[in-house]
Structures are given as C-alpha cells and as structure tokens.
Amino acid sequence: MVNTGDTAWILTSAALVLLMTPGLALFYGGMVRAKSVLNMMMMSFGALALISILWVLYGYSMAFGDDVGAGLLGDPGQYFGLKGLMEDVTSEDGGYPIMAFVGFQAVFAIITVALISGAIADRAKFGSWMVFSAVWATIVYFPVAHWVFDFSADEHVGGWIANNLAALDFAGGTAVHINAGAAGLALALVLGKRRGFGRDAMRPHNLPLVMIGAGLLWFGWFGFNAGSALAANNTAAVAWVNTLVATAAATLGWLLVEKVRDGHSTSLGAASGVVAGLVAITPACAAVSPIGAMIIGVIAGALCALAVGLKYKLGYDDSLDVVGVHLVGGLWGTIAIGFFASADSPSAVDGLFYGGGVDQLWRQVVGALAVLAFSFVLTWIIGTVIQKTIGFRISEEDEITGIDNVVHAESGYDFASLGSSGSTAPLSGQARAEARNTERTLA
Amino acid sequence: MKLVTAIVKPFKLDDVKNALELIGVAGLTVSEVQGFGRQRGHTEVYRGAEYQVDFVPKVRIEVVVSELDAARVVDAVVEAASTGQIGDGKVWVTTIDEIVRVRTGERGDDAL
C-alpha cells in the first residue's frame, strides 16, 4: 500500500524543486548586463531539458543502481531507461512509489548543473555549455549523487559518503552546492575573465528580477529540504522550520556586513543572503535545532558576504559568485554539522558543541573535501578538453556585441515605442542568405 | 525669439513647470537626460564591489519664448530649480531664427 500522504508530499516537493531552476534563471539573469540576460537564462533552461533526459536514460541508474565497487558508482545498466521501475513495489507497511523518488532526485541533478552557469556569464558558447552539461552530469554529478544520497538497504549497496563515511548531508550541501561551487571555480579558471573584468562597471541590469528569482528559490527550497525527508512527517517539519530561520538569519547577516562595510544595505545583498542561508542549511536542516540553524544562517550570510570579494583579490572571474555563495556556503553548512548537530534533532547525532566530540566533525570535513577535490579536478579537465576541441568561449567581438544577439539572435528587451525596428515579413531562404551576405559585406 | 534650455534636478521638474505656468508660458518640452558637471557621478556598490557611475540623471526643459519674455522665464526657472546644493543644473538662452506652428502655418511670434 502506498502511503498517500508521503507520496503526495514527495511529488509536490519535486515540483517545488523544479521551479527552482527557472527561479535561478531569473536570479542569475537579473545580475548580468542587459546584453546577456537571455543567454544566462538559457543556460538554466538548457540544463533543465538536457539533464531530465539523461536522468531518465542512465543518470538515475548511475546514482541509485546497485554499487559496482567501493561505493563509487551505481550500475548504469540496471535501471537504464527506468526499466522495471513502473510496477508498484511499495511494501505492506507503506512507502512511496520509486518513480516519485526518481522524479524528486531528477530535479536535484538539473539545478546542480544550472548553478555552475553563474561562474561563466556573458562568454560561453551555448552549444559548448550543453556538451559540458551532459559530460559533467555523467562523470561528476551522477557518481557524487551516488556517494551522498544512495543509502544501503537490504540487498542494495549504496555510496561511500552516505554509508561508509557516514557524513551527514540531508539535502545536498556536498552533492549539490560544494559540487557546483567547485565546478564553477574550475570553469571560471578555464574560460578566463570577461573582457573588462575589474575595469568596466558590470552592474546587475535588473535587480527586481534578482529579487523575484530569490523568492522563487526560497519557495522551491522548502521542497528541496523538507522534501528530502521523503515523508510527510516530523523530520520534514523540522527541516522546514530550520530552512526558514537559517535563511532569515543569513539575510540579516549579509545586510549587516554591507551596512558596516559599505554604508548601505542593498537589495542584491538581501537576495544573496537568502541564497547563502539556504545553501548553508541544506545539509544541516535535519541535524540541528532551530537555534543552531539560526547561528549557522547568520554566520553563512556574513561569511558569504565577505567571500564574494575574494575574486577581485585573487583575480578569477566567477561572474555571479557561485564560489562565494555555493562553495563557501556549502562548505560552511556541511562542516557546521560537526559543531552544531544535536541529538534531539531527527538525525540524532551530537556535534562538538553538544558534547559529541569530533567524531562527526571529521566525517563532515572528509566528505566535503572529497567532493570539492573530485569536482574541481574533473571539471577542470572537462572544461579544458572542450576549450581545446570545439572551443568554449565566444570571440572578443561577439562578447562585446553581446552574447544574446550573436548566439541566440534575440534581444532581451525592446523598449522602443516609436518607429519600426524592422519588418516582420517572412523571408524566403534565399532572401535570408542574401541579407546575411549584405550584413557581412557591411561589417 | 529665444530658446530657453534648462538642465535641472529631476525632482524639481514639477516646481519649474508650475512656476512657468504661473508666468504664462504656454508650452514646454521635457526630456530625461544624463550627464555630469561639477557634481560628477555617484558610486554604487554591488556585492561589495564599488562602481563609479559617471552620469547622473537630469531633466532637460526647453521653452521657446519671445525675446521680451526670455529674461523672466530664465529667472522663474532658476528660482524654482534652486536648492543651493551642487548639481542644481544650468540654464542657457539661444536665439531662434524661425518658428512655425505646424497646424496653421503661422510663423514667428504668432506661432508661440
């Protein structure tokens, strides 16, 4: 018998998490200049389409198939095309259909890939991004999801971080945020800085979009964290409340740092603080008390507000701060479990500050660093191979003209209310070719 | 005929418009412009990174008046637009050779 309450919550949560990727597109899209807003959003929508397909074909099987050795990888063939997963295998005492879990985990894979795009704003060929997404999901995300999310049960053998190491990562501080953050850093290094980085003003072109995006991310994140309980129960409720307070505290933490350092509390700071808090509480939301969540949150907000300045000091162009927010926030949240975990929480483990010693702390550190190193090295290799073969960066001229125009043949905004900016008459193939030639001659 | 052009702070637009209506000016043209004078630009901070924005928003008001009214119009604009702070703007007067009312074809002072 399917437990209808649990199943309804998992399916709802999956839809909530799916909405996070379009939310991320808005969050990122508002932060770039007007000439690249569409490309920024397209990287998220491209990942949404592509990773969904890969997940159904072999991604789920690589992450949640039986382990092929040492907890490193699931068997890609076992559930290829989700074979054998359509029949109702729920047990007598309840549970949820495995397809609900397949859907819920699919949207995690999608957003992890989409998160990386923030590091390479304005300058990546769309086709190369899609190739990168497919390869990265296959050899980085699917294995790491296996390490972190695949628990052993009965005959089934899962991944090494979840089972052998027993690091706690409730909803993906390692698999999602450290993973995407380290990948963002590697890719920013491979692609290099945008033209004019550190010299030209690259102001966010639409902060209301950023605020809408942050709102949608927060909304969807309740599915991400509370949904990770995989049941409509007490654990989900604790995760929900911790997700609320940690995020609120992080927003205040970020704004406070800005007020003291820069003299103004900004809306971009509020939106960024929201995301920093959400990132940090993601691994910890079922392992800490609400007060613990608050402390983790406020530190996350302040820490990330300081960390986003690193790129100017160290000279890498992580355009939208995937490193400063997701890597730093993910590391902090994952390691903070070692300090703030409370045995009263659903995870039932005590951290250092609750008399549990360093036992949980070292597990958290090892898990975090393992994902960081694996993701950074493999991403650097994938990125470099793409750069050297099909090319990853657009030309200088195209970058200055604006990637929306050149790569997608669109403009994000048309505010002109007077006159005509062209004709809508459909061109024949030949006329179109002639127009192109004229354009070239003129150029 | 004279063209009086004024660059003023955007929030002073209503005051200037009311002052001009009071002295009987029959029409004016307004545009949003950007630029800098001694006030220079301003700074904005995004995620801790400071950007110097060179151009500040201003409003340009243009009024065409008869030669006799020009001085009164300039005085009215200056009085209405002044805050005493840096960045209050400028007003200048140029001579117009010809003016035509499009609807009737009237020319010169008759077209005002």
What is residue A92's predicted lDDT score, i.e. its pLDDT?
61
Q: Decide if pLDDT at A272 tops 80.
A: yes
CA gap A327, A248 in Å, rounded: 20
CA gap A169, A178 in Å, rounded: 11
Tell me the pLDDT band of A316, cut-offs 50, 70 and 90.
very high
- Asked if A309's CB is within 8 angstroms of B45's CB, the reply is no
ipTM of the complex: 0.71
CA gap A258, A125 in Å, rounded: 35
- Asked if B50's CB is within 8 angstroms of A201's CB, the reply is no
**Which structural domain, as residue segments, surrounds residue A33?**
4-396
Q: Which of A155, A74, A141, A86 is nearest to A110 (CA)?
A: A141
- Assign residue B42 the CATH number of its domain: 3.30.70.120
What is residue A104's predicted lDDT score, i.e. its pLDDT?
97
Which range, of A54-63, A142-151, A193-202, A339-348, averages the lowest pLDDT?
A193-202
CA gap B59, A46 in Å, rounded: 43
Closest CA–CA distance from residue A405 to any residue of chain B (Å): 25
Tell me the pLDDT band of A93, cut-offs 50, 70 and 90.
low
What is residue A88's predicted lDDT score, i.e. its pLDDT?
76
- Asked if A266's CB is within 8 angstroms of B45's CB, the reply is yes
What is residue A438's predicted lDDT score, i.e. its pLDDT?
62
- Asked if A309's CB is within 8 angstroms of B51's CB, the reply is no
What is residue B111's predicted lDDT score, i.e. its pLDDT?
86
Count how many domains chain B has. Answer: 1
**Digit-coded pLDDT (tens) for A96-124:** 999 999 999 999 999 999 999 999 999 99
Minimal Cβ distance to A321: which of B44, B47, B52: B47
Minimal Cβ distance to B48: which of A203, A204, A308: A308
- Assign residue A148 the CATH number of its domain: 1.10.3430.10
- Asked if A203's CB is within 8 angstroms of B44's CB, the reply is yes
**What residues contact A14, with CB distance under 8 A and at least 6 apart?**
A100, A103, A104, A106, A107, A223, A227
Q: Which residue of B has its CA nearest to A264?
A: B45
Residue B34 with chain A: CB contacts under 8 Å: none
- Report pTM: 0.86
Q: Is residue A35 part of a domain?
A: yes
Q: Is residue A95 part of a domain?
A: yes
Q: Is residue A433 part of a domain?
A: no
Residue B45 with chain A: CB contacts under 8 Å: 258, 262-264, 266
Q: Decide if pLDDT at A132 tops 60.
A: yes
3-state DSSP assignment of residue A259: helix
Closest CA–CA distance from residue B45 to any residue of chain A (Å): 7
Count how many domains chain A has. Answer: 1
Query: Across the strands, what pairs with A91?
Result: A94
Q: Which of B45, B46, B47, B53 to mutate to test the interface with A (most CBs of A within 10 A)?
A: B47
Q: Is residue A359 part of a domain?
A: yes
**Digit-coded pLDDT (tens) for A143-200:** 999 999 999 988 889 999 999 999 999 999 999 999 999 999 999 999 999 998 887 7
What is residue B54's predicted lDDT score, i.e. its pLDDT?
84
Tell me the pLDDT band of A433, cut-offs 50, 70 and 90.
low
Q: Is residue A175 part of a domain?
A: yes
Tell me the pLDDT band of A417, cut-offs 50, 70 and 90.
low
What is residue A421's predicted lDDT score, i.e. its pLDDT?
54
3-state DSSP assignment of residue A384: helix
Question: What average pLDDT is seen over chain A?
Answer: 93
**Total beta-carbon pairs less than 8 A apart between chain A and chain B:** 32
Query: Residue B81: exposed, middle, or buried by beta-carbon count in 10 A (0-12, 13-18, 19+)?
Result: buried
Q: Decide if pLDDT at B101 tops 70.
A: yes
Residue B52 with chain A: CB contacts under 8 Å: 201
**Which structural domain, as residue segments, surrounds residue B88?**
2-111
Q: Is residue A434 part of a domain?
A: no
Q: Is residue A366 part of a domain?
A: yes
